[in-house]
Amino acid sequence: MFKGGFHIAKIFGIEINADFSWLLIFLLVTFNLAFGVFPGIHPEWGFLLNLTVGLIASLLFFSSVLAHELAHSLVARSRGIPVNKITLFLFGGVSNVEREPDSPGSEFVMAVVGPLTSILLGAIFLFLASLGAPLTMAFGNPATFFSQLGPVTTLLLWLGPINILLGFFNLIPGFPLDGGRILRSIIWKISGDLKKSTRVASLFGQGIAWLFIIAGISMIFGINIPFFGTGIGNGLWLIFIGWFLNNMAERGYQEVVFRDVLGGVLVSEVMRTDIEPVSPETAVYDLVYGRVLGTDKRAFPVMENDSLAGIVCLDDVRKVAKDDWRTKKVEQIMTEVSKLDTVSPEDNASFALEKIAKKDVCQLPVMRDKKIVGLISRRDILLWLQFNHEGREINLSKES
């Protein structure tokens, strides 16, 4: 289990997780196919057959999305870039690539392989469908053609175009879509400046996002947009996609700015040294009322015989029922030292930020010679940026 979702599998050493929002889109796709698309094509099918084919179609479609992300991840690994997990969510999937590519060529190959995988899968599905019925027959009377198809061929004919559509959609030249990353790699190759190329690709992404939002508003007011159609439901959905793409484009640029600004900053310049250790025997009640309340501290090192035993933070406390605070000890809820990731004072602050993001934690212990000398958190890094970065490119309002 991970924060905000659940674990599905592990493929090629990569954790496959699903955000809870993915369940929503999975159910929506299955419902639409089982009660809208397939009954419209095959009115003779019964409820159980429609539901079964719809469920299988959804599973295969999201398996195709996973294949798309796996292609990104495996190419990234081949280029020496670690990838520890893939997360499926409302709008598809995302590979947790731990750092930016080191060259425009790597960026291009990593980006283009995803859409190509989707298009190839679509072509394979269509080829398999043609074995069940010659596709040229569809140009005669499509209604008659589709009514003669069996469940397997119908399923394949739906999966083929939807994967090809997914591939071409991702080639739209707006960051953070794959097409935006391809655009970034080209500009990066020409300019030699990753930050500048990210900014341009991000602006393209925001422009396309706003086109989606405007198109969605137009659809709500009855205007028929080519390919997308019209209607309140479709319009709201397109607005939602546009809003999501706009946020992702801006966030992608901010991440590059973070790394650029933090390039020469050491952990020792950012970390907190006023750490307040607690004993493993401390009751959760005493931790809350004696240490947490009245301060801005959210994590405490747990020390035993002058050695770090673990870290306890607010998230650990929240998992304990309030009635148990007096009986539960810190050692029962802390994250043990063997499960902690650490940094040293001489590490780069951007490296610490990447580790914090990778582990999805709020802070990391700073260790020297096996002794804790401080804590560094996402909040500490953002505060340092706020007070030391003279430009206005960094937006801190989205971080807590």
pLDDT along the chain (400 residues), means of 10: 68 87 88 89 90 94 93 91 82 75 90 95 92 63 68 91 93 88 94 88 91 92 84 86 86 75 82 86 90 79 86 87 90 86 86 74 83 86 74 45
Q: Are residues 346 and 258 in the same domain?
A: no
CA distance 346 to 64: 43
Q: Within a domain: residue 246?
A: yes
Sheet containing 335-336: give its strands across: 299-304, 307-313, 335-336
Q: Are residues 282 and 228 in the same domain?
A: no
Q: Within a domain: residue 305?
A: yes
CA distance 111 to 184: 10
Among 246, 264, 282, identify where a domain stops: 264
Neighbouring residues of 371: CB distance < 8 A, sequence distance ≥ 6: 308
pLDDT at site 117:
96
Among 171, 200, 233, identify where a domain stops: 171
The count of domains in the chain is: 3
Q: Are residues 227 and 280 in the same domain?
A: no
Q: Are residues 25 and 136 in the same domain?
A: yes
Give the dihedral sign, CA 241/245/246/248. positive
Q: Are residues 278 and 228 in the same domain?
A: no
pLDDT at site 392:
44
Strands 14-19 and 83-89 come out as: parallel
Q: Are residues 13 and 121 in the same domain?
A: yes
Q: Are residues 240 and 299 in the same domain?
A: no
pLDDT at site 134:
66
- In which domain, by residue range, is 364 found? 267-388
Helix and strand totals (H; E) in the chain: 15, 9
